[in-house]
Amino acid sequence: MKQFTITSNDANQRLDKFLKKLLPNAALSLIYKLNRKNSVKVNRKREDNEYKIQEGDSIELFVKDEEYAMLTAVTKSVSQRTDKERLDIKDIVYEDGDLLIVNKNPGTIVHPGDFKTTELSLIAQAQDYLGEKLSSLTFKPSLIHRIDKDTSGIVMIAKTKPSLDVMLWALQSNKIEKVYLAVCLGTPPETRGVIRRKLRRLEHAERENKIVVDDENGQTAVTHYQVLETGIHGKYSLIECTLETGRMHQIRVHLASIGCPVLGDNAYGDKQENAFAKRAYEIGRQLLHASRIGFVHPSKKVPVTYTAKLKKDMAGLLGRNQ
């Protein structure tokens, strides 16, 4: 018999969902069978699969040790990572018991489900890095938000379920300030402005340009921008963008819509200029960087702000030292 005490990380989920996460190799039919045959007890009594487990609940699982080992077996991949595949400590912007904030490298996907690939993701690197330091039966460190594969900069990861719940609420309520830096071709007509245009996502688009601008069926998207620097290499500008909404490819599409596409953006940018920048400056991705994020800390309940330094390619083009 195995016995578990529910903590805040595992509370407030259905009993069958908890068991499926606890026993990843068990089919749902087996989960239901275990419960039906009284092999699962909550506080020493049988509960329906729909029962929401609570912090402090005692879960008893009546299975043999060898069966439990088989149902919980997972492939340990951490030791197989090369140094280059592991999360670089230098890329950690901030860490405490609630949050891990990382300065993501361009070319790294944040989650494998975004691309349906086995390619190493940022969330896998983070989970490897945290390893067994986190005590939870079913909760794994989880992304609070996402950025594009070729966009660099700040990504936040929740280390506990309560912090994830608080931060997701803040994200959905527009309580998180997200600021980006973009190197663009050309200069906007105004040094400050607001781009407010509807964007519609094309669900089955095969190429990356999945967004249609000014579609009447689109969702309103709002980007506030400020020009920080002009005349970079005679034709580029550095623009700071603050998101009021968080639509897919919002900054890239919005800047392109005012005639200032992000340099290196192969979906919405100037392909001829991108080819030149690749030859002349070795720019191989869109120069968009999530540079700053501000929010109320989920447990400390105080406003905090974190910044991430530019990556080498973007800093180099701007003539800044790393």
Residue 79: is its pLDDT beyond 50? no
CA distances from 120 to 29, 288, 307 (A): 31, 21, 25
- Report, in angstroms and rounded to the nearest whole number, the Rg of the chain calculated over CA atoms: 23
* The pLDDT value given to residue 131: 82
Q: What is the mean pLDDT of the chain?
A: 92
Kindly report, residue by residue over 170-193, the tens digit of the pLDDT.
999 999 999 999 999 999 999 999
Contact 264, 182 (CB under 8 A): no
Kindly report, residue by residue over 246-298, the tens digit of the pLDDT.
999 999 999 999 999 999 999 999 999 999 999 999 999 999 999 999 999 99
**Residue ranges of domains in the chain, CATH in brackets:** 2-72 (3.10.290.10), 80-172 (3.30.2350.10), 177-286 (3.30.2350.10)
Kindly report, residue by residue over 111-156, the tens digit of the pLDDT.
987 666 678 899 999 998 998 777 688 999 999 999 999 999 999 9
> Quick one: the chain helix, strand, coil %, rounded to 5?
25, 30, 45
Kindly report, residue by residue over 254-263, the tens digit of the pLDDT.
999 999 999 9
Using 50, 70 and 90 to split pLDDT, how confident is the model at 73? confident
